[in-house]
Structure 1
């Protein structure tokens, strides 16, 4: 088993395509296919089910993938040790990010790392399915680090570095009966028609957990994946929403009232607790922890 075979296997598995996997490793597709065929022969088992132009992992491939990622991580750790002797840091980091990151300045982190550590390559991926998917990807090794929103202080198999916290407001239109209030309780608004994000998104999880803890039930009438869409629906009186304070420009947009609640939205940087961070990952962790805005709950 050769290291390049493992690298090709991971690239194809994550791309779900021999063509895209070959592009990712900058090798012609025929060479990638031949290397994986040889790997399958050595292992005595097919790793992919090939159906025309589509492929998917076999059970053996599913079992192989996390171990293959661990092998590459161990090799990177060995390289880090050698680089440390020479005073250099290099490597590739797959970083997941949120659609909205509060005061966490992701672009500034990227600029700083590019300037100070030119040997580090950051593969940025914005989540389209929320924190739950990002956590799963960090656990599996598909992501090395990810900005997530978790209401708890700990999560199984993960290290969570707190970066930011802010209040969650109850957003309603100017014409709403509660628009003149400065603060509302959850029991007062449980029956409202809510606009919210899909289950698995961090802000939705925080709100659902708070209602469950209070023994209250609410109904989400509309699901969106954009704070902009949520505010537009609220402005038109088509529902109410829970939003981080920073999601409303200057705290309160025209036509919308932001009312305080006891809820807090938190952002953390997650990494797997089951392996040692590479030197490149540690650089990003330190850069993120140097910014943000930690606010007591």
Structure 2
């Protein structure tokens, strides 16, 4: 069993495609396919179920994948130990990021890593399915690190580093019945038409948790993946929303200037709900030297504390 065969297997297993897997390891597809066939012969089992051009992991492949990740992690740890003697840090880190990261300037952090540690390669992937999918990818090893939004302090099998926290505001149009109000309680808005992100996104989970804790049900009429889109729908009085404070400040709808009483067309009410961002990594394996560098850079840039709105509703 060769290291390259393990690398090929992991790449194809994560991409569920020989073509895309070969692109990840920068090797021609024929060599990747040959390497995996040889690995299957050595193990005496098929690792993939092949149906024409589509593939999925076979039971043997599912059993091998987490162990293959650990093998590659151990190899990287050995390289790190040698590099430490020479005073260098190198390696590749697969980093997942959110569509909106509050005050965390991801690009500035990546620039600092490239400047200070030119031998570290960061493969950036922006989530299109939210925190739940990012946590799954961290557990499986498809991502080494990921920015996530977990409302609690723990996630099974995950090590979380708190980076950022901010208030979540209730937002309605300035024509809404609650416009001009200073406070709002969940029981009086449970029947509203809500605009929110899909299930599995961190900000959605925080709001869902508040309604569940209050014994209330709500209806999400529209699901979006853009804070700007959510604000536009609210401004058109097509629903109400709970949105992080920074999303209000950075929205394209406010480019003309934010007025003291809120965005024109919108009315915002502060709440004690808090949106939190953490950097997640698997607790099942040792972090590489390159991962430690990114964790430190993100921690230096983070702002993990946020105070609830004074006098806000008892949500």
Quote the Cα distance in structure 1 between the aligned partners of 2:153 and 2:23. Answer: 39
Corresponding residue for residue 259 of structure 1: 269
Quote the Cα distance in structure 1 between the aligned partners of 2:22 and 2:13. Answer: 11
Post-superposition shift, 1:257?
Answer: 1.2
SS in 1 for 2:12: helix
Quote the Cα distance in structure 2 between the aligned partners of 1:187 and 1:261. Answer: 14
Quote the Cα distance in structure 1 between the aligned partners of 2:198 and 2:149. Answer: 14
Post-superposition shift, 1:295?
Answer: 2.6
Gaps of 5+ in 1: none
Kept in 2, the 8 Å contact 1:131–1:200? The answer is: yes
Corresponding residue for residue 193 of structure 1: 193
Gaps of 5+ in 2: 250-257, 308-315
Kept in 2, the 8 Å contact 1:185–1:261? The answer is: no
Post-superposition shift, 1:23?
Answer: 2.0
Post-superposition shift, 1:254?
Answer: 2.2
Q: Aligned match of 1:269 in 273, 276, 279?
A: 279
Quote the Cα distance in structure 1 between the aligned partners of 2:77 and 2:37. Answer: 28
Kept in 1, the 8 Å contact 2:97–2:147? The answer is: yes
Q: Deviations over 1:126-169 (max 9, x none)?
A: 11111011111111111110100011011111111110100000
Kept in 2, the 8 Å contact 1:172–1:239? The answer is: yes
Is residue 279 from structure 1 mapped to residue 289 from structure 2 by the alignment?
Answer: yes
Corresponding residue for residue 295 of structure 1: 305
SS in 2 for 1:281: helix
Post-superposition shift, 1:217?
Answer: 1.4
Return the TM-score normalized by structure 1. 0.97
Quote the Cα distance in structure 2 between the aligned partners of 1:209 and 1:47. Answer: 40
Post-superposition shift, 1:293?
Answer: 2.1
Kept in 2, the 8 Å contact 1:91–1:120? The answer is: yes
Kept in 1, the 8 Å contact 2:167–2:306? The answer is: no
Is residue 34 from structure 1 mapped to residue 20 from structure 2 by the alignment?
Answer: no
Corresponding residue for residue 108 of structure 1: 108
Corresponding residue for residue 171 of structure 1: 171
Quote the Cα distance in structure 2 between the aligned partners of 1:27 and 1:128. Answer: 27
Q: Deviations over 1:39-68 (max 9, x none)?
A: 000000001112212211111111111111
| Larger CA deviation: 53-62 vs 103-112 | 53-62
Post-superposition shift, 1:110?
Answer: 0.2
Kept in 2, the 8 Å contact 1:174–1:256? The answer is: yes
Corresponding residue for residue 243 of structure 1: 243
Kept in 1, the 8 Å contact 2:135–2:148? The answer is: yes
Kept in 1, the 8 Å contact 2:157–2:282? The answer is: yes
Kept in 1, the 8 Å contact 2:274–2:306? The answer is: no
Corresponding residue for residue 210 of structure 2: 210
Q: How many residues align?
A: 297
Post-superposition shift, 1:239?
Answer: 0.2
Quote the Cα distance in structure 2 between the aligned partners of 1:72 and 1:270. Answer: 19
Return the TM-score normalized by structure 2. 0.92
Q: Deviations over 1:244-274 (max 9, x none)?
A: 0110125943211111112110000111111
SS in 2 for 1:118: coil
Post-superposition shift, 1:235?
Answer: 0.5
SS in 2 for 1:275: coil
Instruction: Please report the RMSD computed on the Cα atoms of aligned residues, expressed in angstroms.
Output: 1.1
SS in 1 for 2:10: helix
Corresponding residue for residue 228 of structure 2: 228
Kept in 2, the 8 Å contact 1:105–1:292? The answer is: no
SS in 2 for 1:35: helix
Is residue 61 from structure 1 mapped to residue 61 from structure 2 by the alignment?
Answer: yes
Corresponding residue for residue 181 of structure 1: 181
Quote the Cα distance in structure 1 between the aligned partners of 2:10 and 2:39. Answer: 12
Quote the Cα distance in structure 2 between the aligned partners of 1:170 and 1:12. Answer: 44
